Amino acid sequence: MEMRQNKRRYGTALLAVGALLALGVYAALALTGVASASGREPNVVEVNVAARQWAWEPGVIEVNQGDLVRLNLMSLDVVHGFYLDGYGIDEALVAGQPVTIEFVADKPGRWMFRCSEVCGPFHPYMIGWLRVSPNWYARSSLIGVALLAAGTIGGFLLKVVKS
């Protein structure tokens, strides 16, 4: 009994270590871009983005890694700012004056763009999402979730079958 329990614990530990290793390798590949070499032609993605108290319209922008992104930004009410996490782009938006920014979406993942000029109470929550596929962070997480769940359930079933 004691032996069996020890075996099971080693099993759990191994599973955990294995999952972590797999994730580590995966993340390393993803971050160095090796895993993302896709050979697809980059597109030009142009989006009109309106800023108002306290949301972006559209709130979600989807592009692929490598795309040239052109955003035509315009504030509809007060002074806002467009700050893009991960890219460090920061642009002030005066009401009614269009501003165009261009950048290559070279960093995959989901990045928040947020208001960078204090514009009222909900200013800190004025957030939109830029999704640059492939989103390695989310994929790694989901793979981790699936591994953990499948691993444990598999372990449980094995245990039940054996007993």
Partner 1 sequence: MSAVQKPRQDRAERAVRGMTGIPEGSKFLGFIPVDWRYDLTERFPGLRRVLRSRWTSFLLQLITASVFAVALVAGFIGTPVGNANLLVVLVWIFWWSALMLIMVPFFSRIWCALCPLPSAGEWLQRRAFVKKRQGKGLTLGKRWPAALRNMWPVNLIFLGMALFSGILTTRTTVTAWLLLGMVLGAIVISLIFERRTFCRYLCPVGGFLGLYSNMATMEIRHNVYSVCRDHKHKECVVGTNEAYACPWMEAPTTMARNTYCGFCFECFRTCSKDNMSVRLRPPGTDLLVNKNRGLDEAWKAFIMLGAAAIYAAVMMGPWGTLKDWANMTSVGGYLVYASSLALTVMVVVPAVWGAFVWLGRKLSGADVPFVRLFTNLSYSLVPIGMLAWIAFSFAIILPNWAYIPRVISDPFGWGWDLFGTAGVEWNPVGMRVMPILQVAALLFGLAFSIDVAWKIARQTLGDDRKASLATIPPVIFLAGVTGLFTWLLVG
Given the rule CB under 5 A, which residues bind Cu ion? 80, 115, 119, 126
The H or E element containing residue 48 is: strand 44-52
Q: Which token pair is 162?
A: 């054996």
Given the rule CB under 8 A, which residues bind partner 1? 5, 8-13, 16, 23, 27, 52, 54-60, 83, 85-86, 88, 107, 109-112, 114, 116, 118, 120-129, 135, 137-138, 140-142, 144-146, 148-149, 152-153, 155-157, 159-160, 163
The torsion region of residue 88 among left (phi > 0), alpha (psi -120 to 50) and beta comes to left
The entry of Cu ion, partner 1, none near residue 42 (CB within 5 to 8 angstroms by kind) is: none
Nearer to Cu ion among residue 73 and residue 126 (C-beta): 126
The torsion region of residue 127 among left (phi > 0), alpha (psi -120 to 50) and beta comes to beta
Asked if residue 114 lies in contact with residue 140, where contact means CB atoms within 8 angstroms, the answer is no
The entry of partner 1, Cu ion, none near residue 36 (CB within 5 to 8 angstroms by kind) is: none
Q: Which token pair is 157?
A: 């079933």
Nearer to partner 1 among residue 41 and residue 112 (C-beta): 112
Q: How far is the CB of 160 from Cu ion (least distance, A)?
A: 56
Q: How far is the CB of 25 from partner 1 (least distance, A)?
A: 14
Asked if residue 91 lies in contact with residue 82, where contact means CB atoms within 8 angstroms, the answer is yes
Query: What span, in angstroms and rounded, lies between the C-alpha atoms of 146 and 158?
Result: 18
| Number of residues written out for the chain | 163
The entry of Cu ion, partner 1, none near residue 124 (CB within 5 to 8 angstroms by kind) is: partner 1
Q: How far is the CB of 47 from partner 1 (least distance, A)?
A: 13
